[in-house]
Structure 1
Amino acid sequence: MGQPALGILTLYLNESKALEERSVYEKMIAAGKRLGMTVFVFTPQDVDDENDQINAMFFQPETKKWSRRLVRFPNLIYDRCRIQKSYRFQQLLSFRKRYSHLQFLNRPLRNKWTVYRTLSKVSSIRPYLPVTRLYQSPEDVQFMLNRFSTLYLKPINGTGGRGILRIERGRDGKLLLQGRNHSRTIVQPRLISKNGLASALAHWDKHGDRYIVQQGLNIKLPDGRVHDYRMLVQKNGSGQWEVTGCAGRIGLHRSITSNLHGGGEAATMNSLLRRWIGNEGEIRRIRATAENFGVAVARHLEESYDALCELALDLAIDRNGRIWLIEVNPKPSREVFKLAGERDVYRKAIIRPIEYGLWLYHQK
């Protein structure tokens, strides 16, 4: 019997057939070779439906070169496709529907609003969730501003900090708007009156996205930069959920988000908590609570939806040491650990889907 095969399903970024995470895929293919699993990369465009073949991309670690080869469908599929507004994403949806009977390590997770509603029904998880409301009209923002001085308006399907608007209510009643547009560019802050809110929101929503309105949290460091934490929870080689690592992210000056793609920087969780909390005993308590919480969220979402193999939880920790779940990302990047200097965690994050895939293959 030959080696089991894992196909990494992704999308091309443009017509030159560029791959966003090529260096990560190279490391995964090399890891698969060491562990006894054939790993290749493909997109829906590479699938020949009539002949049940894939014109797959293979990487040779020894020569550092990529090549293509016609292969049969893999035993397991690891779906890395993120939402994009293109015909390629429509091809992906067709592929998922046509080949839903195949063994996927991870199925699509729902949007931010649906995930929030799912988690808010769990009494042990609810206290960790910022108050969130589906945006349907400017009245939803006004209603939330009556409760909270800071709000975030977020696309329900957005990633990487795109299209996020922060609204802060000043003591004089004026509203400060700051954000990042859909290209992640920082938008110049501006003050508006309450009466100008509806017009400002209509201008922000020109892409026709659906949004949520979320309670803002006090996560500004003394220098004014916002910070949060990226926790990676993955299935291990025994099929169990486990926290692989958690690292801090610090946003650019004047940025309302901490995303690394938007220019943020990474730090170890402990070093950032020492700047924010200080007390070592409290830091240990926060870390333990966060890890237990992360595993609980992963288990519940898998029970509620379908197969998952990893999730990233974006966490905020306020001045009182309270943990908040900002959002859940089903297609997490690993780069934060490398940038924070945690190379062992970075390597583990890359290898774990292979180890879990091997376990799942032998179970089946």
Structure 2
Amino acid sequence: MIAAGLKLGLEMFVFTPQDVDYRQHRIHALFYNTETKTWSRKWTKFPHMIFDRCRIQRSRRFEQLKRFRSVYGHLTFLNRPLRNKWTVYRTLQKDERFRPHLPATRFYESMRDVNEMLKKYPLLYLKPINGTGGRGILRIERKSDGTLLIQGRDRNRRIIRPQRISYTVLHARLSTWNLKEQKYLVQQGIHLKLPNGRVHDYRMLVQKNGAGEWEMTGCAGRVGSRGSITSNLHGGGKAVPMRTLLLKWIGDEALADSVQQQAKELGEEIAAYLEKSYNELCELALDLAIDRQGRIWLLEVNPKPAREVFAKAGEKETYRKAIIRPLEYALWVYQENRNRKRKRRQQSNKSAFLVDDGNDSTEADANVNPER
């Protein structure tokens, strides 16, 4: 990203809140030399814009991040923090355009939530409201013989092998996960297993372009590793082109074309709507499920997406665009800020001219610097 930024005339550096000198308002930042391919540190002043890539996490580092955001919240950020999964779900649910694409979801308060959801839906996912990378997710499937098939990944992303249990021991099994303390969601599951038994979904990247408008950059398919209930690449999944996977799943070219177009429009609409709800955003990743009938389901929204899914799917041009678009958007933001400042100065000068009763128009006009 830094190498691409240089070609656009942007000087970029990397820093964490721990690198900030709050007294002298400077940063001990990391700079990358594209010629020697080495990193070095040096003190620098604050940049014109900040691209915040920090995720929500329970750690001392996150407390440092919150302090930084509170002290320097007046600076220009390309993106602001998005809310947790539950808040985002409730926000999207308010708009009738998105309701048909949202799996039924509850905030976990007691086992009653799980039991009532299991009566309605044969498949459930339990996921932490701030989790990433498939950590701490459980899958519960109601089988025809009355038993439950439970599997998932622990909080270290290790696979939990499938186990058949009865309803009577479900509560005891889930109590070890501290669902209430950790804040979990109970979500309707969508059947996404391929003929080989592996789950799959789609990762869509929607970004602001060089004109400040939301645009889908790309969408790739993801296939989970053997025995995994998620498709995350960090959990051993693999990436494939969306159309390749969609055709295998649906088997109808015309329907696949229609689904791809619908997904694009849905992704761009969701991004624009969430930005109106939660301040400035620069990019969002949408995890989508598509059922056999071609219905699109939004599984979750990720405000700090990785981009390697496109490189691993063999879509090098899409990967290149995914790198460059935030930089082109940054240039647009910078220019917009300059234009706003120029207009404010012009308005200020104009106001000074209008209240200056002590001079004639020629003298007052001469005091206005047309270059400012």
Runs of 4+ with deviation above 4 angstroms: none
Once residues 207 and 134 of structure 1 are traced to their aligned partners in structure 2, the CA distance between those partners, rounded to angstroms, is: 9
**Secondary structure at the counterpart of residue 196 of structure 2:** coil
Corresponding residue for 2:2? Answer: 29
| From 231, 236, 243, the counterpart of 1:258 | 231
Asked if the contact 1:317–1:324 (Cα under 8 Å) also holds between the matched residues in 2, the reply is yes
Contact kept? 1:138, 1:197, Cα under 8 Å:
no
1:180 is matched with 153
1:298 aligned residue:
271
Give the Cα–Cα distance (whole angstroms) in 2 for the partners of residues 115 and 83 of structure 1. 14
Shift of 1:195: 1.2
Identical columns (%): 61
1:196 aligned partner, one-letter code: V
Q: Paired residue for 2:109, among 136, 140, 150? A: 136
- Equivalent residue of 1:315, what SS? strand
* Displacement after TM superposition at 1:161 (Å): 0.3
Shift of 1:83: 2.3
In 2, distance between residues paired with 1:240 and 1:217? 32
The residue that corresponds to 2:328 in the other structure is 355
Q: TM-score, normalised by structure 2?
A: 0.89
Residue 70 (1) aligns with residue 70 (2):
no
Q: 2:187 aligns with which of 214, 217, 234?
A: 214
Structure 1 letter corresponding to 2:110 = S
More displaced stretch, 162-171 vs 81-90: 81-90
Quote how far apart the aligned CAs of 1:330 are.
0.1
Counterparts of 1:1-364 in structure 2 under 5 Å? 28-205=1-178, 208-364=181-337
Spell out, residue by residue over 1:284-305, the C-alpha distance to the aligned partner (whole angstroms, 9 max, x if none).
1001000000000000000011
Deviation at 1:84, TM superposition (A): 2.7
Q: Can you list the C-alpha shifts for 1:147-191, whole angstroms capped at 9, x where unaligned?
A: 000000000000000000000111122111100001110012212
Letter in 2 for 1:339: K
Secondary structure of the residue aligned to 2:272 is helix
Cα distance in 1 for partners of 2:108, 2:59 equals 25
Amino acid in structure 2 at the alignment position of 1:100: G
Quick one: which amino acid aligns to residue 324 of structure 1? W
Matched residues in 2 for 1:201 and 1:62: separation? 53
Deviations 1:331-356 (A, max 9, x none): 00001000000011111101111100
Deviation at 1:281, TM superposition (A): 1.0
Instruction: Give, in whole Å, the separation in 2 of the partners of 1:162 and 1:112.
Output: 14
| Structure 1: gaps of 5 or more residues | 1-27
Higher mean displacement: 80-89 or 294-303: 80-89
Cα distance in 2 for partners of 1:173, 1:283 equals 36
Counterpart of 1:169, as a letter, is: R
Instruction: Supply the distance in 1 between the matched residues of 2:16 and 2:89 (Cα, whole angstroms).
Output: 30
Separation in 1 of the partners of 2:2 and 2:38? 12
Larger Rg: 2
How far 1:207 sits from its partner (Å)?
9.3
Distance 1:100 1:324 in 2: 34
RMSD: 0.9
Question: What is the TM-score of this pair, normalised by structure 1?
Answer: 0.91
Q: Distance in 1 between matches of 2:226 and 2:52?
A: 34
CA distance in 2, matches of 1:69, 1:236: 31
Instruction: Please tell me whether the aligned partners of residues 231 and 245 of structure 1 are also in contact (alpha carbons under 8 angstroms).
Output: yes
Q: State the SS of the aligned residue for 2:103.
A: coil
Question: Structure 1 residue 198: deviation in Å?
Answer: 1.2
How far residue 274 of structure 1 moved from its aligned partner, in angstroms, is: 1.2
How far apart in 1 are the matches of 2:177 and 2:189?
18
Q: String of CA shifts for 1:202-240, please: whole Å, max 9, x gaps.
A: 112279310000001011101110000000000000100
- CA distance in 2 between partners of 1:78 and 1:33 (Å): 16
